[in-house]
Amino acid sequence: MAKRVYNFYPGPATLPWEVVQEASQGVLEFQGLGLSIMEISHRSKEFDQVIKEAAALVKELLEVPDHYHVLFLQGGSSLQFAMVPMNFLPADGTADYINTGAWSKKAIKEAKFFGNVNVAASSEDRNFSYIPDMRQVQFTPGAAYVHITSNNTIFGTQYDEFPNTGDVPLMADMCSDFMWRKFDINRFALVYASAQKNMGPAGVTIAIIRDDLLPRIKNDVPTMLNYKIHAEKESLYNTPPCVAVYVVNLMLKWIKNRGGLGVIESTNRRKAAMLYDTIDELSGFYRGTVEPANRSHMNITFRLPSEDLEKQFIAEATAQDLVGLKGHRSVGGCRASLYNGFPMEGVERLVNFMREFARKNG
Ligand SMILES: *Cc1c(COP(=O)(O)O)cnc(C)c1O
């Protein structure tokens, strides 16, 4: 067996070992066809089945109604920052954005190329350590849409409840917590997530779009950037990233075989709780960086008493095969990313290491 460390990287991120093994088989030979998944035509019936099955599994696991399309796009969540306003924000229109951190800011920057942006709420006043209370937000009447970032990968905050935007379409960057649990897709007009955090390798972005949005798309959108084209062509307008779609398909089957999103959610909650409980129990040494009510289940951020101790902590953890614990370069500190593919044993190993480290250095 290959050497395997516990991978806390924020993305690309750890995948279940079963998925990695199965993907490696498909890379050698796909379905006994005498060719690799890297070599197969995207128009072949075998690949067609892979991409259709992946879309169907997203629908099944999230209970997505028939009046939505599941799309597989390219360009990452970063291209979605531009595609959303390019398709849906008229030059004289206004879109409401909730600013909860670095990724929200990037989304806002792109929207400003197309129309007016109203930052309806922000948590920048306290360095993005919380999620603004959605019941207090005044949304723009008749806005083109409202955009949120459901999980803030860098700062470690996550929405628990989503805003109620009435008739205004709600859109979400769910890049770092897509399918960490079941959520009510009916609240949303569009959600998107590049796969490399929670759902697969880099190279493909999953989007779910409500059909009534398609006729609203502006008529000056280039073909490759137009959601309607990708919906009509069932994500096969051009060559999709076949390998990435294949691995997403395997990941979806893995979720289904474990019992679906209910089981995934309870495992994810137990993993995050184990780590937060340790941080709180040793609060004289470790310090969580966000409001407890808004803590992310995916990216757990914490500090140690000094930057020197943080460096030592990360170095000693790495030596014990606990890798990727450094916080984002813009905020420092430590961050453990516990996505769907991250195993419980890795969290146990980390909290044992944290106890030991605090005992020796506290
Ligand atoms: C990683 C991330 C992105 C950027 O994704 P790319 O695939 O690199 O474009 C956007 N939003 C959030 C919340 C992320 O975590």
Residue-wise pLDDT for 216-261, tens only, equals 999 999 999 999 999 999 999 999 999 999 999 999 999 999 999 9
- Where are the domains positioned within the chain? 18-257, 260-361
Q: Residue 35 Cα, ligand 1 centroid: separation in angstroms?
A: 32
Which of 173, 176, 159 shows the shortest CA–CA distance to 295? Answer: 159
pLDDT tens digits, one per residue of 98-138 = 999 999 999 999 999 999 999 999 999 999 999 999 999 99
265-316 pLDDT tens trace? 999 999 999 999 999 999 999 999 999 999 999 999 999 999 999 999 999 9
Host H or E run for residue 183: none
Annotated catalytic residue 173: yes
Relative to beta strand 157-158, strand 151-152 is antiparallel
Q: Is 175 in the pocket of ligand 1 (CB under 6 A)?
A: yes
Reported confidence tier of residue 2, pLDDT bands at 50, 70, 90: confident
CATH topology of domain 260-361: Aspartate Aminotransferase, domain 1 (3.90.1150)
Q: What is the pLDDT of residue 1?
A: 66
> Could you tell me the pTM of the whole model?
0.98
Percent of the chain whose pLDDT exceeds 90: 99
| Ligand 1 site, residue 80, Cβ cutoff 6 A | no
Q: Please compute, for residue 40, the number of CA atoms within 13 A of its CA located in the half-sphere on the CB side.
A: 28
The Å distance, Cα 354 to ligand 1 centre, comes to: 29
Angle at 347 between CA 346 and CA 351, to 5 degrees: 120
- State the CB neighbour count (10 A cutoff) for residue 347: 22
Residue where the block lists tokens 């919906």: 231
Residues 55 and 60: their CA atoms lie apart, in Å, by 9
Could you tell me if residue 162 is left (phi over 0), alpha (psi between -120 and 50 degrees) or otherwise beta? Answer: beta
Whether 45 sits among the annotated catalytic residues: the reply is no
Q: From ligand 1's centre to the CA of 173, what distance in Å?
A: 8
The answer to whether residue 103 is catalytic is: yes
E strands of 145-204, at which residues? Answer: 146-149, 151-152, 157-158, 170-173, 190-194
What's the CA gap between 84 and 203, in Å, rounded?
19
Is the distance from CB of 116 to CB of 88 less than 8 angstroms? no
Calculate how far, in angstroms, residue 355's C-alpha sits from the geometric centre of ligand 1. 32
Contact residues for 192 (Cβ-Cβ < 8 A; gap 6+): 73, 77, 80, 84, 172, 173, 174, 175, 205, 206, 207, 208
Task: Give me the phi and psi of 234, to 5 degrees please.
Answer: 50, 50
Look at residues 274, 250, 181 and name the one whose alpha carbon lies nearest to residue 15: 250
Q: What is the mean pLDDT of the chain?
A: 97
Distance of CA 331 to the CA centre of its chain: 19
The topology (CATH level 3) of 18-257 is Aspartate Aminotransferase; domain 2 (3.40.640)
Query: Of these residues, 173, 180, 228, 271, which one is catalytic?
Result: 173
User: Whose alpha carbon is nearest atom 10 of ligand 1?
Assistant: 77
Ligand 1 centroid–CA 32 distance in Å is 35
Tell me the C-alpha to C-alpha distance, in Å, between residue 45 and each of 34, 48, 175, 294, 347: 15, 5, 30, 45, 41
Among candidate residues 96, 177, 197, 228, the one labeled active-site is 197
Closest-lying ligand 1 atom to the alpha carbon of residue 202: 7
Residue closest via CA to ligand 1's atom 7 equals 76
| Alpha-helical segments (H) within 89-149 | 102-111
Per-residue model confidence as pLDDT tens digits over 302-361: 999 999 999 999 999 999 999 999 999 999 999 999 999 999 999 999 999 999 999 999
| Ligand 1 atom having least distance to the Cα of 153 | 15
